[in-house]
Chain A
């Protein structure tokens, strides 16, 4: 049974941010407004991370997604001013993206939410919540995630060098 405690109230507020922001992104005709709704949605996601006792992920979400990526999106949109007041649907593949979105949602419902119903164990042991230090150690521990971490580093370095090569003067 759902209890009405501060955590659940906060959860519903952040969930409303996330879903409302997502709806705003999909329905907004103004690309800047769409980008701002995206920020609202990402902010709601950061709030959910805090409720899940993952403050590091929440701060990273705000720093990387809102502080960098969303600002880059807004910057790109601002440079193309005619795109800010779209009157017509010009992308003919909207049904394809809708299909993919709905399909992914159904997948999530089946994979994540369905197992929770039915066999919800009230005496289940609480999950072992890791700290930021655990996260840091896991990323450099040979037995855990050092390989994906290093692969991601190589990928980012490659992207960085690629950007420099593309942006460089030909002479």
Chain B
């Protein structure tokens, strides 16, 4: 490698400046790791401001507006407050586990950033098993919340931790099945390969069901409304983080905010062409703009859901997952795999040299899309029939209750 510019070929430039080759590549890798780790932590400062402004507007308030222009520096003032607060460890708590939990909570999210492709050339590390890596690393977050709930020595925290297992472990199944679709379509688990494979056609067109399942289960994985049973203020006081104070409490929330953005970025990378966009091959830095621009749309949609939907009950949430999302995601994988093989057998799949051509991708995309629309039609029909049989039964139950009431009053 030769020294062209200081950003992309730092190691080569340092070597030309007379540095030991081993040390030069070490410095390059270290700087890369520090940058990838710090980026989400710096972005989260802005995200909290966005979240608060957005929630405020929905609730007909102004939101933070005193510290700095438009209240932009409010989060920094809050962070200073959090750091200055007294660090309380409750009596009977398991001190080591108690202190470790918030760290693991943040680390498990930041580790995902290692494989997010931000532009054609900017990715922490393009692992061969990228998609599997972020599923594996993300599953550690469950552990952090369980550690927090158990070590606090508080029954509400423990109850919150129990809900976490029910929720996060269950929603991981449709999450993984949804990721299987882009992996199957791209024929690779590497994140850059998945993005590159969408040059002809975004995977959203090929399987909208997978995209919707990914978005919904990602929303549940982050514990956002309507799936925010982990930290249900009105039922569990707060949930797993009830005993935490100061910056340790803040770390859980920083982890959650980063996780929402991370899931939006993953959604864009897996289904909406990642950094692909006009002129991105000539100016790789444009990849950042496309990637974060697309992700911002889904981030804002997630905020909209959070601020406008009521919380579901735990039985509704489990029913929705196990009786709806899981069967749907399994059927979707089977149908897409089958159609993909049929398309290839019929020779309708784009030839390797035409893989980037929009028109060459059309036959395959249309067939897969029709397959997905057929699934949607069947599911909607089943839901309608279910609703028709369910509503009279519920109405009858309510009538029965009402008849009981006067009888009891007479007693």
Listed in ascending order, the chain A residues whose CB lies under 8 Å from chain B are 30, 32-33, 36, 39, 55-56, 59-60, 62-63, 66-68, 70-71, 74-75, 78, 131-132
Asked if B128 and A78 sit within 8 Å, CB to CB, the answer is no
Task: Tell me the complex Cα distance, A152–B384, Å.
Answer: 38
Asked if A78 and B150 sit within 8 Å, CB to CB, the answer is yes
Shortest Cβ distance from residue B206 to the other chain A in the assembled complex, whole angstroms: 21
If A66-B140, A68-B139 touch, whether A74 touches B128 (CB-CB below 8 Å) is no
- On chain A, the residues within 8 Å of B225 by CB distance are none
Q: List 28 A-B contacts (CB under 8 A).
A: A30-B94, A36-B147, A39-B143, A55-B127, A56-B128, A56-B129, A56-B132, A59-B129, A60-B132, A60-B136, A62-B136, A62-B140, A63-B135, A66-B139, A67-B136, A68-B139, A70-B143, A71-B139, A71-B143, A71-B146, A74-B143, A74-B150, A75-B162, A75-B165, A78-B146, A78-B150, A78-B161, A131-B128
For B165, give the chain A residue with the smallest CB separation.
A75
Could you tell me how many residues of chain B have their Cβ less than 8 Å away from some Cβ of chain A? Answer: 24
- On chain B, the residues within 8 Å of A33 by CB distance are 94, 97
Q: Which 8 A-B pairs have the closest CB atoms?
A: A67-B139, A63-B136, A62-B136, A59-B132, A59-B136, A55-B129, A75-B165, A59-B129
Shortest Cβ distance from residue A86 to the other chain B in the assembled complex, whole angstroms: 14
Asked if A74 and B136 sit within 8 Å, CB to CB, the answer is no
- On chain B, the residues within 8 Å of A62 by CB distance are 136-137, 139-140
Asked if A36 and B129 sit within 8 Å, CB to CB, the answer is no
Asked if A78 and B129 sit within 8 Å, CB to CB, the answer is no
- On chain A, the residues within 8 Å of B142 by CB distance are 67, 71
Asked if B169 and A71 sit within 8 Å, CB to CB, the answer is yes
Task: Tell me the complex Cα distance, A62–B138, Å.
Answer: 10
What per-residue 1/0 map shows which CB atoms of B126-157 lie under 8 Å from chain A? 01110011011101101100110010000000
For B172, give the chain A residue with the smallest CB separation.
A67
B189 at the interface (CB under 8 A from A): yes
Asked if B140 and A132 sit within 8 Å, CB to CB, the answer is no
Task: Tell me the complex Cα distance, A75–B129, Å.
Answer: 29
If A55-B127, A71-B169 touch, whether A63 touches B139 (CB-CB below 8 Å) is yes
- On chain A, the residues within 8 Å of B143 by CB distance are 39, 66-67, 70-71, 74
For B127, give the chain A residue with the smallest CB separation.
A55
Asked if B132 and A71 sit within 8 Å, CB to CB, the answer is no
For B138, give the chain A residue with the smallest CB separation.
A67
